[in-house]
């Protein structure tokens, strides 16, 4: 991807490169609540949760997930998970929660197969977003890379301690696979 002229990047190339910047920045994991600006707010650039990889990757492609999720939650709050005892959306944190990202992507993204088989492998494209469930029940997310392992399974850029690009797509049960924005037919 780095050999491709940035002027020729499509939206998914930009998402990938935005995620790859998190690896280059060596972003450390920090999911703590922080008051941030709105719109285009962000936590400190050297820190972030797994969801911040997705947020920053999409922002690199021109999509402010903070504003997109907040605006949708203001109009459709009851459609989003009610797990935090809130009575209204909170633009500081809502977009940083995997459950809210999944809800938003189910509504406005392109849902794709969660299985990784020989038949479904072509559906896993760079810039796609993947969501997993850890054995402890926690959810996690990352961005699909253009790099693959020796079997052709894509690597993933994620942050579970330190932002990295690694062979982990099949490490945990996959609960979501999305493309945003959806591909045009």
pLDDT tens-digit readout, 99-128: 999 999 999 999 999 999 999 999 999 999
pLDDT at 148: 98
Instruction: Order the strands of the 139-148 sheet from edge to edge.
Output: 110-111, 174-179, 129-133, 139-148, 154-159, 163-166
Q: Which domain holds residue 155?
A: 1-185
CATH code for position 28: 3.90.1720.10
Number of domains composing the chain: 1
DSSP, residue by residue, 154-178: EEEEEESSBEEEES-TTTS-EEEEE
Does the global pTM surpass 0.85? yes
């Amino acid at each position: 991807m780095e050999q491709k002229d940035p002027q020729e990047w499509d939206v998914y190339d930009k998402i990938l490169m935005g995620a790859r910047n998190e690896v280059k920045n060596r972003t450390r994991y920090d999911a703590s609540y922080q008051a941030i600006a709105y719109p285009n707010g962000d936590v400190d650039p050297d820190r972030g949760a797994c969801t911040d990889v997705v947020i920053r990757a999409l922002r690199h492609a021109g999509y402010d997930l903070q504003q997109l999720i907040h605006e949708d939650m203001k109009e459709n709050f009851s459609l989003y998970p009610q797990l935090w005892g809130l009575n209204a959306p909170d633009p500081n944190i809502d977009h940083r929660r995997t459950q809210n990202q999944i809800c938003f992507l189910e509504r406005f993204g392109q849902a794709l197969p969660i299985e990784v088989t020989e038949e479904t492998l072509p559906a896993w494209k760079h810039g796609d977003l993947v969501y997993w469930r850890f054995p402890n029940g926690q959810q996690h997310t990352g961005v699909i890379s253009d790099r693959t392992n020796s079997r052709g399974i894509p690597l993933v850029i994620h942050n579970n301690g330190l932002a990295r690009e690694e062979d982990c797509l099949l490490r945990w049960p996959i609960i979501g696979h999305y493309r945003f924005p959806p591909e045009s037919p």
